[in-house]
Amino acid sequence: MNKHYLFPGKLAAFKEETLISTLLGSCVAVALHDPVAKVGGLNHYLLAEPGAHDVPNPRYGSAAIEMLIEEMLRLGASLDRIQAKVYGGGNVIAVSVVGESIGQRNIEVAERLLQKHGIRILERNVGGESGRTLKVNTHTFEVIHSFSNEEAAGSASVDVSGFKPLQVAKTVKVLIVDDSATVRTLFTNIFQKSGLEVVGAAADPYQAREMIAAKKPDVLTLDIEMPRMSGVMFLEKLMKFQPTPVVMVSSLGSTGEAAMKSLELGAVEFVHKPSQFDPQVLKDLATTLVEKVRAAASVNVLKKIKERPAVVPTVEMNVSAAGKARKKTQELKVVVLGGNAGSAPGLEKILCSLAVDTPPVVVSCSIVTNFLESFCQKLKGKTKVNLAVGKDGDFMRMGSVYLIPAGHHGKIVAGANGPQLKLEKGIPVASQLPSSNVLFQSAVQAYGGGVYAILLAGYGTDGVDGLSAIQNKGGMTVVQHPEDAQFPYGPQKAIEVGVAEQILVADEIAKHLMQYRNQSVF
């Protein structure tokens, strides 16, 4: 028997005997079956209705039920024979709080639409206070379901995204390594106020070496430029003999080569030392720094630093079980790409695989903003597209990639001569500067469904709201496969809330982009 895991916001139907499984919270799943044709299917929707100006998609019950019926009929089912079972809609705090009674509204839309089509409901297992696991046999219509608290051991190993639950270390021990006493004091105060345990503050790598052996910190913050031994040289030694998650600290004057070398050696993230001690600057620094340190200390990060992610197969997030990618609704105008921690390797793979006639691409990737010139120089001669540090007012051309520089958010505006880049100084959004959300949301405002969005590895949820806006207008949303990402948090959150049309390894994204670009508009 074939097996198929159904992601949130998706649906599938099969003529071959298949066991479809999914996990439900406040979401609802409608199972359909034709006992004569032996065709069965299941959807998994998160919300009842799209907005008035949104393009319907399977994330919404009103669309998911109609699409599932259509797919059943395409596979040979007859409407007068189709039967239904309805599950889920629990009063559960899920990954996204979308208002009160969302579960009840999801249940109501299922019953209303099934009644409209004259489809008899054989079983209802809805409401309650718990999530559910669900397995549907498409041939026999046998449904195995249980509440999540009845399968604690099994449900603990997976969440609604179908991947292992995201975990962040509850207690984090930090060692600060910086030659500036002012920075050491500043970082100590920031960490202690945020509940992190500062186990030491070293003025140079030699002091740090002794403290690491004695205190065994979970994370280091490490200055790039220090006397006696540079941070980069110390990082190289550290990764050879005692791999530890490291957040590099750099001044605005640090060389891009040093920052890029640190990333290649295994540094997790970067943060700039404040050039001024303005209260708002320090507040933004504290929020960003603490989140970066917590992310670095997350479970499995040591394994990720020491080992390259395993090659995983492409996983397509298709509306149809037949495996056909969703057609684009508008001509593709612009490509937007976001990510933060751990996204640099995936970004390199994509840029080196883009065709010369790729539509204009704008990149909001905070981890490479520290060394954009060096990053572009490194890829010189390896790409067919032109790489450039974006400038305010740039008219974006086919075959060009524009990387948003540090300290700015990047927006896309529609112009008479095509897409135009607008740079704005600002504070972090979703703890990121530049922010993928800002870029994605501006693109959809300018071009609606003519946007292709990619969210690479990263911690936090930056980019997820932007993907939702793009999906609702009919654009294409792609996320890096969580098993291909050093930090799967952003992509996995997008999967959990049903806004990922496709899950692809980085090596496959450029190919998919061109296949999508070449589709005719329907």
Rounded (5°) CA angle 78-81-85: 115
Choose the catalytic residue: 22, 244, 288, 383. Answer: 22
CB 159 within 8 A of CB 165: yes
**Cis before 243 (ω within 30):** no
Beta strands per DSSP E along 48-90: 83-88
Structure tokens at 408: 């700015």
Among left, alpha and beta (phi > 0; psi -120 to 50; other), residue 16 is beta
Give 328's DSSP letter: P
CB atoms within 10 A of CB 38: 18
Structure tokens at 217: 């910190």
Non-local CB neighbours of 468 within 8 Å, separated by 6+ positions: 497, 499
For the chain, how far is it from start to end, CA to CA, in angstroms?
A: 36
Q: Is 27 a catalytic residue?
A: yes
CA distance linking residue 271 with residue 223, whole number of Å: 10
Q: Are strands 219-223 and 173-177 parallel, antiparallel or unpaired?
A: parallel
Structure tokens at 459: 């911690």
Among left, alpha and beta (phi > 0; psi -120 to 50; other), residue 192 is alpha
DSSP string, 422-468: EEEE---BTTBSS-HHHHHHHHHHHHTTSEEEEE-S-SSSTTHHHHH
Choose the catalytic residue: 27, 138, 244, 477. Answer: 27
Choose the catalytic residue: 44, 409, 481, 512. Answer: 44
Q: Fill in the amino acid letter for 171.
A: T
CB atoms within 10 A of CB 215: 16
Structure tokens at 127: 């409401």
Q: Fill in the amino acid letter for 434.
A: P
Looking at beta carbons, which pairs linking 179-187 to residues 24 or more positions away fall under 8 Å?
Answer: 179/203, 179/204, 179/223, 179/225, 179/226, 179/227, 180/223, 180/273, 183/223, 183/249, 183/273, 186/274, 186/282, 187/221, 187/289
Task: Pick the closest to residue 477 from 446, 447, 502 (CA basis).
Answer: 502
Strand, coil or helix: 47 = strand
CA distances from 463 to 36, 86, 201 (A): 45, 32, 34
Q: Is 22 a catalytic residue?
A: yes
Looking at beta carbons, which pairs linking 194-201 to residues 24 or more positions away fall under 8 Å?
Answer: 194/286, 194/290, 196/172, 196/290, 196/293, 196/294, 197/171, 197/172, 197/173, 198/173, 198/174, 199/173, 199/174, 199/175, 200/175, 200/176, 201/175, 201/176, 201/177
Structure tokens at 485: 């990402």
Catalytic residue numbers read 22, 27, 44
